[in-house]
Structure 1
Amino acid sequence: MNPNFISSSSSSDEDDENSHMIYTYNQFIQDMQRRIDNNNVLIQYLRDHQSPQIYLGSVPGHIVINRDREGAHARLYNDYFADNPLYNETMFRRRFQMSRLLFLRIVDAVKEHDDYFVQRPDGTRRLGQSSLQKGC
């Protein structure tokens, strides 16, 4: 066999393989560019047709979580501070490590000293946490 014939055949095979790889690579790049262009068109369409933003909280885009402050205060009051509370003095002392009377005296003293512990309406005119909630 002629050695030149074998090398030219193998060289031709390598050239064909390289050409195929380059063609495949170019097809891949074109496909990716089409996808990027489609995504850009879609994004622009969504930007042009989006509904006006609705602000739900004091900071645009933040979601407001209703934590039921009023209900929490009612439960706390009914559980520990009502005339006939759900939990007696012993349970209160176990939970708060002091008597109910001492706790209420501390809450009143702290309210007199610092306005933070006074219940006030927030920006939406809803009452904030009560002094009992902040004291716990």
Structure 2
Amino acid sequence: MNSHYGSSSYLASSSSLDDDDDYYDDLEKQVVCQITTNNNFCIAQHQNNEGSHRGSIPCHIVVNRDRENADRNLFNDYFAENPRFSASIDGLGKLGLSGLQKVTAVFRMLAYGVPADATNEYIKIGESTALESLKQFCRAVVKVFGARYL
């Protein structure tokens, strides 16, 4: 008798507990058997393709990401003598944020306690850029005035 948790026969009969234990033992054995079968299949496939396996984990799909060309493109886009994207223009051909925008965001955060993500509303600057600008501003203040005032 396979009774399920919550049914009246499950609660009424103590023998149903034994039946459920047998049911779950059988289910566990089936799952273990299936896992073992899958592992054996993977091992067999790995042994048959020993020379062609290129990943770190047997039976995992290897995705060719063309890392060499990606590295070359990254270098040509940003670090070459004549890069495709300069420091002032982004990938869409738009000018980057001005120093005035960055400093204004920093002053608003310091003077008014505006959270970094709220600077986007008026200054049109993202949270991560506002936080990075704040860090750079603070470093510059410490570098310039630290010896005298700190």
TM-score, with normalisation over the residues of structure 1?
Answer: 0.33
- TM-score, normalised on structure 2? 0.30
* Larger relative contact order (CA 8 Å, sep ≥ 6): 1
